[in-house]
């Protein structure tokens, strides 16, 4: 019985294909599709269901263009499985519809040209779904989607829809530019971008809101350009007062990713403690063999005041962590930025820790230029000498370590306290500052021009 129906389907396919050939030209003239990996790598699946109110269209994705193939208007739900290297499509009664969609097969909702929505295992997506057969009867699930619709699905996850409109528009431009510049980032695995923070957080149609879709529409197609080429539009949460040169965080020097003294950064203080034992474990996970940790110290700053090198002396080896590797090794959500100072951690109250006071001038800047001010209740500022400065809250008196004091930046026992400002790698646009600038009346182009040097928005 099943065999008979399969034969009928093949005949239908043969009859319908020539009728559809007229659509292929039209489809090829439409805008390009990108491929977003929904279930990839260790998250590959063996079966999936697709739902669409309007039925389906089986076709192929050839490069970045969708070629229409067999329509399935009578079906609202179909089942897909990976079987011996083939992508098999059946109806919900198990009747075979396609014995193998092939590696370029793609399933669209029939109304894909008209804002159609496809449900993959219950989750709605714009565009279509491609399945790639993998080993052990598993398959990768790829969302095939137009750039503007992809930005719809990213924007709220990267900057919440309740934020001011001009900040959302700035975020739409950087998210679109990032996607454009990073197309093929996962090409070795058959898709462009993943759905996590590794690329940009993407939630499909469920992540869409009126405000974020509107910000996308109002900047439709706009990219950040340098010398006419799309840029690597990096962004992050909070600068701590200064953004960073790209080469001070990673290795490549890009002319539009320059450090900016950020006048709009809302204060974002953080503090965390790491025991020597935990630091040892983290270093070992990263492939180092430090032995017993003996001391942790800051070994250099860049000219924005960010830590450029952390020196960790162990009984087995001395480890130098440079630039973004400090956060990569110790944990980027733990050491939230490189704008930190060190203190000796203690569980017996703040009065026993080392408190640091800073004027933001560190490293290569001359100490002769350093100025430190205190601000009284009246708001009046008074310049003071940093050395030998004490502070008291009435219960404890503390030494406010001067910036030239090596002792305040080397910890030799137990637990290291990281006290810092800002969150993220520091390169490109700080989202908190984009929001603040929008609140102060700047438009999205002014926001982007403030953080990216010599760029155009087009
Ligand atoms: Zn990725």
Segment 18-35, tens digit of pLDDT: 333 322 322 222 368 999
Contacts of 272 (CB under 8 A, 6+ apart): 334, 335, 336, 417, 418
Q: How many A from CA of 36 to the centre of ligand 1? A: 9
Q: How many A from CA of 196 to the centre of ligand 1? A: 6
Would you state the pLDDT for residue 301?
94
Alpha-helix residue ranges (DSSP H) falling in 236-395: 246-249, 276-285, 325-330
Q: How many A from CA of 286 to the centre of ligand 1? A: 21
Would you state the pLDDT for residue 85?
94
List CB-based neighbours of ion ligand 1 within 5 Å: 194, 198-199
Q: How confident is residue 411, by pLDDT bands cut at 50, 70 and 90?
A: confident
Would you state the pLDDT for residue 381?
57
- Strand order across the 389-392 sheet: 355-356, 397-401, 389-392
* 413 pLDDT higher than 90: no
Would you state the pLDDT for residue 409?
74
Would you state the pLDDT for residue 17?
36
SS3 of residue 153 by DSSP: helix
SS3 of residue 325 by DSSP: helix
d(CA 313, CA 437): 43
Q: How many A from CA of 325 to the centre of ligand 1? A: 19
Q: How many A from CA of 414 to the centre of ligand 1? A: 37
Q: How many A from CA of 83 to the centre of ligand 1? A: 27
Q: How many A from CA of 182 to the centre of ligand 1? A: 9
Would you state the pLDDT for residue 372?
56
* 441 pLDDT higher than 90: yes
Would you state the pLDDT for residue 31?
63
d(CA 99, CA 76): 19
Q: How many A from CA of 62 to the centre of ligand 1? A: 22
Q: How confident is residue 414, by pLDDT bands cut at 50, 70 and 90?
A: confident
Q: How many A from CA of 60 to the centre of ligand 1? A: 24
Task: Output 335 or 370, whichever has higher pLDDT.
Answer: 335
* 12 pLDDT higher than 80: no
What average pLDDT score do residues 232-241 get?
94
Q: How many A from CA of 37 to the centre of ligand 1? A: 8
Would you state the pLDDT for residue 378?
54
What average pLDDT score do residues 140-168 get?
97
Q: How many A from CA of 164 to the centre of ligand 1? A: 28
- From residue 398, give the alpha-carbon distance in Å to each of 243, 310, 352, 360, 404: 31, 25, 8, 20, 17
d(CA 175, CA 284): 35
Q: How many A from CA of 199 to the centre of ligand 1? A: 4
What average pLDDT score do residues 407-436 get?
89
| Predicted confidence (pLDDT) per residue in 56-69, tens digit | 999 999 888 999 99
d(CA 450, CA 115): 36
* 284 pLDDT higher than 60: yes
Would you state the pLDDT for residue 25?
29
Q: How confident is residue 366, by pLDDT bands cut at 50, 70 and 90?
A: very low
Would you state the pLDDT for residue 356?
46
Q: How confident is residue 251, by pLDDT bands cut at 50, 70 and 90?
A: confident
């Amino acid at each position: 019985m099943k065999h008979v129906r399969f034969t009928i389907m093949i005949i239908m396919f043969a009859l319908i294909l020539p009728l559809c050939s007229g659509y292929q030209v039209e489809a090829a003239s439409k805008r390009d599709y990108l491929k977003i990996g929904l279930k990839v790598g260790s998250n590959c699946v063996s079966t999936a269901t697709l739902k669409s109110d309007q039925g389906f269209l089986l076709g192929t994705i050839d490069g970045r263009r969708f070629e229409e193939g067999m329509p399935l208007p009578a079906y609202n739900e179909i089942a897909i499985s990976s079987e011996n290297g083939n992508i098999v499509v059946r109806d919900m009664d198990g009747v075979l519809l396609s014995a193998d969609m092939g590696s370029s097969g793609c399933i669209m909702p029939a109304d894909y040209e008209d804002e159609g929505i496809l449900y993959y295992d219950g989750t709605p997506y714009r565009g279509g779904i491609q399945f790639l057969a993998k080993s052990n009867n598993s398959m990768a699930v790829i969302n095939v989607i137009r750039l503007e619709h992809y930005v719809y699905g990213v924007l709220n996850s990267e900057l919440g829809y309740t934020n001011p409109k001009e900040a959302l528009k700035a975020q739409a431009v950087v998210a679109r530019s990032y996607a454009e510049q990073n197309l093929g980032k996962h090409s070795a695995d058959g898709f462009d971008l993943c759905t996590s923070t590794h690329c940009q957080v993407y939630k499909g149609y469920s992540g869409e809101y009126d405000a974020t879709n509107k910000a996308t529409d109002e900047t439709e197609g706009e990219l950040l350009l340098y010398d006419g080429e799309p840029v690597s539009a990096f962004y992050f949460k909070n600068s701590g007062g200064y953004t960073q040169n790209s080469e001070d965080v990673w290795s490549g020097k890009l002319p539009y990713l320059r450090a900016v003294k950020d006048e709009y950064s809302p204060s974002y203080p953080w503090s965390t403690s790491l025991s020597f034992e935990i630091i040892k474990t983290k270093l070992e996970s990263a492939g180092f063999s430090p032995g017993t940790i003996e001391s942790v110290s800051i070994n250099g700053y860049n000219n924005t005041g960010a830590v450029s090198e952390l020196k960790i002396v162990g009984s087995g080896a001395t480890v130098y962590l440079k630039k973004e590797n400090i956060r990569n090794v110790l944990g980027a959500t733990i050491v939230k930025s490189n704008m930190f100072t060190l203190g000796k951690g203690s569980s017996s109250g703040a009065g026993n820790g080392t408190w640091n006071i800073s004027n933001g001038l560190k490293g290569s800047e001359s100490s002769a230029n350093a100025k430190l001010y205190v601000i009284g209740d009246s708001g009046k500022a008074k310049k003071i000498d940093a050395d030998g400065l004490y502070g008291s809250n009435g219960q404890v008196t503390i030494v406010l370590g001067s910036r030239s004091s090596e002792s305040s930046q080397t910890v030799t026992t137990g637990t290291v306290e990281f006290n810092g400002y800002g969150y993220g790698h520091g390169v490109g646009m700080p989202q908190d500052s984009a929001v603040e600038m929008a609140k102060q009346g700047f438009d999205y182009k002014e926001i982007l021009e403030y953080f990216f040097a010599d760029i155009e928005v087009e």
